Structure 1
Amino acid sequence: MKVIALFIASVFLLLTGAQAQPVAPAKSSPNALQYQFNALKSRASSYREFNQDYKVIQVRRLDAFWQNVQDSLKAREQNIRKAGKATEKALAQARQDLVNQKAELQSLKQANAQKEQQIKQTAHDVNSLSVLGIDMNKQVYVVISWIIILGLLVVAAVFSYLYKKSKVTTDEKIKAFEEVNQEFTVHKQSARERELKIKRDLQTEANRVAELNQEIAVLRKQVSM
C-alpha cells in the first residue's frame, strides 16, 4: 500500500510540473492525466485502518494509467527537443543577420569616408589654382593678374581673356562644388538614417539572441531534468 501511495504522489508531482510548463498537445495531455488520475481514485475501493485512509486500485487500471504517464513524458520530451532545435536554428539565423548588418555598416562608413575625401579635394580645387605646377590661392592669382594687366598694357587683351577664362572655370568649379556638397549633404543624411536604422536593428537582433539563449538554457535544463 505504501508503494501505491508513493506512486500516486509521484504522478501528482508530474502533473503539477506538466501544468507549470506548457508543451505541444500529446497523446495524454496534463488535463487528461489529471482526469484519469481522479477517475482512478474514484473507482478505487476505500478502507480505513489505524486511522489512515487507503485505496485499493486494480493492477490493470494502474498499469494503463502508468503507460499513459510514460507516453505523456515521451511526447513532452520530444516536443522540448523539437522546440530546442527550432530555437537553435533561429539563433543561428539571428547571428548571421548580425554579421550581415555589421558588414553593411562597415561598407557605409567606407563610402562616407570616400565622399568626405572627395569634398576636401573639391574644396581645394575651388580655392586654389595650379600655375606652372604650383598651387596658388585664387586671390593671389587675381592680384598678380591685375598687376600684370596694369604693367603690360600691350598684352592686356590676352591677360583679360585668360582672366575671364579663369573666372568661368572658377564659377564652374564653385557650381560643381555646390552640387557635390549638396549631394554629399543628402547622402550623409541618408547614410546617417540608415546607420541609425542598422544600429537599431543590431540592438533588436542582439536582444533576440539574448532571448533565444535564455530559451535554449531553459529548454536544456528541462531536458536534463
Structure 2
Amino acid sequence: MKVIALLIVSVFLLLTGLQAQPVAPAKSPSNELKYQFNALKSRSSSYREYNQDYKVIQVRRLDAFWQNVQDSLKAREQNIRKAGRATEKALAEARQDLASQKAELQSLKEANAQKEQQIKQSTHDVNSLSVLGLDINKQVYVVISWIIIIGLLVVAAVFSYLYKKSKIITDEKIKAYEEVSQEFTVHKQSARERELKIKRDLQTEANRVAELNQEIAALRKQVSM
C-alpha cells in the first residue's frame, strides 16, 4: 500500500511538472501518463475496508506504469539538460554578440570621434588662416585688415592734406618769389635806366666842362694877346 501511495505521489508530481511545460496536449507525456494512470485505476479491482476504498493493481501493470514514469522522468531530465545546454549556448552566443556589439560600438565611437575631429579641423581650416606661420582666425584677420586699411587711408589722407598744404605754401612762395623777381627785374631795369641817365648826364656835364675848359682856354688866349 505504501508503494502504491508513493507511486501515486510521484505520478502527481510528474504530472504537475509536465503540465507546466507549454506542449501540445495531444503529444504531452503528462496527458499520456494521466491516461495510463486513469486506465490503471479503472482496470484494477476495488474493495472497501474500514470505511476506506482500496485498489488492487496487477504487479506487471504497476511495473509497466512505473517504467513509463521513470522513462518520462528521464525524458524530462534530458529535456531539462538539453534546455540548460541550449540556454548556456544561447547565453554564450548572447555574450559573444554583446562583446561583438561592444566592439562595434567602440569602433563606432572611435569613428565618430575621428569624424568630429575632422569636422573640427575642417571648421578650423575654414575659419582660420596661416599668416607668417601664425594661426589667425579669419574674423580677426578681417578686422585687423580693415584696421590696417583704415589706418593707411588715414595716413594717406594726412599726407594728402600735408601735401596740399605744402603745395599751397610752395605755390605762395613761388608766386611771392616771382613777384619779388619781377619787382627786382623792374627795379634792376629802372636802376639801369637811372644809371644810364646818370651816365648820360655825367657825359653831358663832362662835355659841358670840356666846352667850358675850351672857352676858358680861348678866353685866356685872348686875354694874353
Which TM-score bucket, shorter chain as reference?
A: 0.5 to 0.7
Q: Which amino acid aligns with 1:138?
A: Y
Q: Which amino acid aligns with 2:132?
A: L
- Pairing of 1:63-212 with structure 2 (within 5 A): 63-136=63-136, 137-139=140-142, 140-144=144-148
How far apart are the structure 2 equivalents of 1:91 and 1:104? 19
TM-score (ref. length: structure 1): 0.57
Of all paired residues, the percent bearing the same amino acid is 78
Shift of 1:81: 0.8
3-state SS, counterpart of residue 21 of structure 1: coil
Q: Which amino acid aligns with 1:55?
A: K
- 1:55 partnered with 2:58: no
Change (3 A) 1:86 1:23: farther
TM-score (ref. length: structure 2): 0.57
How far apart are the structure 1 equivalents of 2:79 and 2:102? 35
Q: Which amino acid aligns with 1:109?
A: K
Q: Which amino acid aligns with 1:69?
A: V
How far apart are the structure 1 equivalents of 2:110 and 2:153? 47
Question: In structure 2, what is the equivalent of residue 30 of structure 1?
Answer: 30
Contact 1:47 1:54 in 2 (8 A): yes
Q: Which amino acid aligns with 1:101?
A: Q
Deviations along 1:53-103, whole A, 9 cap, x unmatched? Answer: 111111111111111111111111111111111111111111111112222
Shift of 1:12: 2.5
How far apart are the structure 1 equivalents of 2:118 and 2:30? 69
3-state SS, counterpart of residue 7 of structure 2: helix
Shift of 1:116: 2.6
Change (3 A) 1:107 1:142: farther
How far apart are the structure 1 equivalents of 2:43 and 2:57? 8
Q: How many residues align?
A: 151
Deviations along 1:157-176, whole A, 9 cap, x unmatched? Answer: xxxxxxxxxxxxxxxxxxxx
**What RMSD, in angstroms, separates the aligned Cα atoms of the two structures?**
2.9
Unaligned runs of 5+ residues in structure 2 are 157-225
Contact 2:7 2:66 in 1 (8 A): no
Question: In structure 1, what is the equivalent of residue 19 of structure 2?
Answer: 19
How far apart are the structure 2 equivalents of 1:16 and 1:59? 25
Change (3 A) 1:3 1:104: closer
Question: In structure 2, what is the equivalent of residue 41 of structure 1?
Answer: 41
Change (3 A) 1:52 1:124: closer
Shift of 1:104: 1.9
Contact 2:19 2:30 in 1 (8 A): yes
Shift of 1:147: 5.4
Shift of 1:146: 6.7
Q: Which amino acid aligns with 1:21?
A: Q
Unaligned runs of 5+ residues in structure 1 are 153-225
How far apart are the structure 2 equivalents of 1:91 and 1:11? 33
Bigger Rg over Cα: 2
Shift of 1:124: 3.1
How far apart are the structure 1 equivalents of 2:62 and 2:40? 8
Contact 1:47 1:53 in 2 (8 A): yes
Q: Which amino acid aligns with 1:37?
A: F
Q: Which amino acid aligns with 1:104?
A: E
Contact 1:46 1:53 in 2 (8 A): yes
How far apart are the structure 2 equivalents of 1:118 and 1:133? 22
